[in-house]
Amino acid sequence: MQNHHHFILHKPTGYISQLVSNQRKQRKKKLLGELYNFPEGTMPVGRLDEDSEGLLLLTTDGKLSEQIRSQAVEKEYYVQVDGEITPEAIERLKHGVEISIFGKKYTTLPCDAAPLDPPDVGPPKRKRSDRHGPTSWLSITITEGKFRQVRKMTAAVGFPTLRLIRVRIGHITLDGMPSGSVEEVDGFQFGF
């Protein structure tokens, strides 16, 4: 029986959810492999885009990766949006909104969404000037993970995402991990 490795990572903004680059001529991107010496065969479970931050799980176990990416496992995000989010917009998010995935219309599954007091998540990578108007925070918990889904959902209800932080996958949370830190855990802690 193969011994698998499992990791919890607090992905900083500016990194792509990839360990090594397969493209020689690609402009220099920061890769997760620069944060830790992961064993061969390690793969991220799902992705966070370059501008997003927060919880990312990595494993050498493909079956566990599929299980975590399934709709049985919740993924929670703290989202800062442009403007004061309205109760109507939150209700629309909860019931599912139409977004585009690779040029095809898609209606998101119902989710949990609620306004949130500004969380203690540290400063953003880029400071936004107050002259751009107010912002607000909300928590969104989904069970799916389409390409840039949460960003597309908030834009669909008129409140573009400014900052996106994944704080929970199933029972695993960031739990105060500093940005850029990696923790190896055993299968029992990581298991779903």
Separation in Å, CA 122 to CA 11, 52, 90, 110: 13, 14, 25, 30
Pairing of strands 172-173, 161-169: antiparallel
**CA–CA separation, 168 vs 37, rounded Å?**
24
Residues with Cβ within 8 Å of residue 90, at least 6 apart in sequence: 113, 114, 115, 138
Q: What does the alpha-carbon distance between residue 62 and residue 127 come to, in Å, rounded to a whole number?
A: 38
Report d(CA 113, CA 142) in Å as an integer: 9
Is 186 assigned a catalytic role? no
- Catalytic annotation, pick one of 49, 51, 61, 186: 49
Give the residue numbers annotated as catalytic, written as ranges.
49
